Amino acid sequence: MPTLAELQIRLGHSFRDDNLLRLALTHPSIAHEANAATAHNQRLEFLGDSVLGLILSRALYEKFPEADEGALTKSRAKLVNAGSLAARARQLGLGTHLILSRGEENTGGRERASALADAFEAVLGAIFLDGGFEAARDFVQREFAADFESLTEAVDIENPKGELQELLQAKSPHAPEYEFIAATGPDHDRLFECAVHHAGAELARGTGKSKKAAESTAALAALEKLRAGKPAES
């Protein structure tokens, strides 16, 4: 098996704390197999997901100064999804370094897209903790350089509610449902918040200057989560 030193060369980051990298590569199945509170990479995945979103959001904000929120959200979703993250993990060879339970190993866990995508985000989270924001940003810029360069204009979406319904009903007979949450601010400058639900689970929330705008923003957020392979909240 290739060493962690070789992996760090491919990552372009030399870890001061190798334990962070090992933790990023530790699949949750290890804890399940041990039936004990064993540390694994889900917390680092959570952190890495947020760091990735921030770095790409800022880059898109600066690249497309005329694009609105919807176009920027759609562009980010085009760059980041479970499939694209798994592909990057494969290119880096993360699968060969994953620390898995016997059961996960025997069922092809090293090549499972979800495990690879999670590991990619966890490794980014580890780089952020070990080297700071600049190290994380440099890693993301290297990994996404080609796709970011090929994105010559922000991806617009005219009907996010319709696209969300089409996506969901391709797999389920249930249509998304929208819930008004609250309205804040003075009468002349109200801000509305709405949530979108599907099959009893909340997918996302959004805000806007009208209920319709808030529903559209919620639909955009739900589309981004679904394309990134994120679960709904029960």
Cα 121 to Cα 8, 24, 82: the distances in Å are 15, 8, 10
Q: Which among 118, 121, 130, 193 is annotated as catalytic?
A: 121
Residue 9 maps to a domain: yes
Residue 121's pLDDT is: 96
Structure tokens at 37: 């509170």
Residue 70 lies in a domain: yes
Q: What is the pLDDT of residues 5-61, one digit of tens each?
A: 999 999 999 999 999 999 999 998 887 766 667 889 999 999 999 999 999 999 999
* Degrees, nearest 5: CA angle 114-218-51: 45
Domain annotation covers residue 34: yes
Instruction: Note whether 112 and 194 are same-domain residues.
Output: no
217 and 168 both lie in a single domain = yes
Residue at which a domain ends, from 150, 177, 197:
150
Instruction: Single out the catalytic residue among 45, 49, 104, 193.
Output: 49
Residues 105 and 179 in one domain: no
Q: Which residue has the tokens 């805000």?
A: 207
Assigned domain for 232 exists: no
In a domain, 234, yes or no: no
- Rounded alpha-carbon distances, angstroms, from residue 200 to 74, 153, 188, 232, 234: 25, 36, 34, 10, 7
Neighbours of 200 (CB within 10 A): 9
Q: Are residues 222 and 182 in the same domain?
A: yes
Residues 195 and 143 both lie in one domain: no
Identify whether 207 is part of a domain: yes
What span, in angstroms and rounded, lies between the C-alpha atoms of 55 and 52?
Answer: 5
Same domain, 37 and 84: yes
pLDDT of residue 1: 53
Domain count, the chain: 2
Q: Is 215 a catalytic residue?
A: no
- Would you call 121 a catalytic residue per the annotation? yes
pLDDT at 131: 96
**Per-residue model confidence (pLDDT) at position 187:** 82
61 CB neighbour count, 10 Å cutoff: 13
> Where in the sequence is the domain holding 84, given as residue range(s)?
4-150
pLDDT for the residue 82: 80
**Same structural domain, 43 and 139:** yes
Positive/negative CA dihedral, 164, 111, 143, 23: positive
Which residues of the chain fall below pLDDT 50?
none
104, 126, 150 — which closes off a domain?
A: 150
Please check whether residues 53 and 169 belong to one and the same domain.
no
* Residues 109 and 83 both lie in one domain: yes
Looking at this protein, which amino acid is placed at residue 217?
A: T
DSSP-H helix ranges across the chain: 4-11, 18-24, 29-34, 42-63, 69-79, 82-92, 102-106, 113-150, 160-169, 211-227
Domain holding 188: CATH number?
3.30.160.20
Q: Please, which residues have CB within 8 angstroms of residue 18's CB and are 6 or more apart in sequence? A: 4
Backbone phi, then psi, for 140, in 5-degree steps? -65, -40
Sole residue written with tokens 């929208």: 178
Regarding whether 187 and 143 lie in a shared domain, the answer is no
Residue 233 lies in a domain: no
**Do 192 and 101 lie in a common domain?**
no
Q: What is the pLDDT of residue 193?
A: 95
- Rounded Cα distance, 113 and 81, in Å: 11
Measured CA angle at 79 (ends 192, 145), to 5 deg: 130
b/e sequence 146-175, b meaning 16+ C-beta within 10 Å:
eebeebeebbebeebbebbbebbeeeeeee
Q: Return the pLDDT at 225.
A: 85
pLDDT for position 106: 87
Task: Write the CATH number for 10.
Answer: 1.10.1520.10
131 and 167 share a domain? no
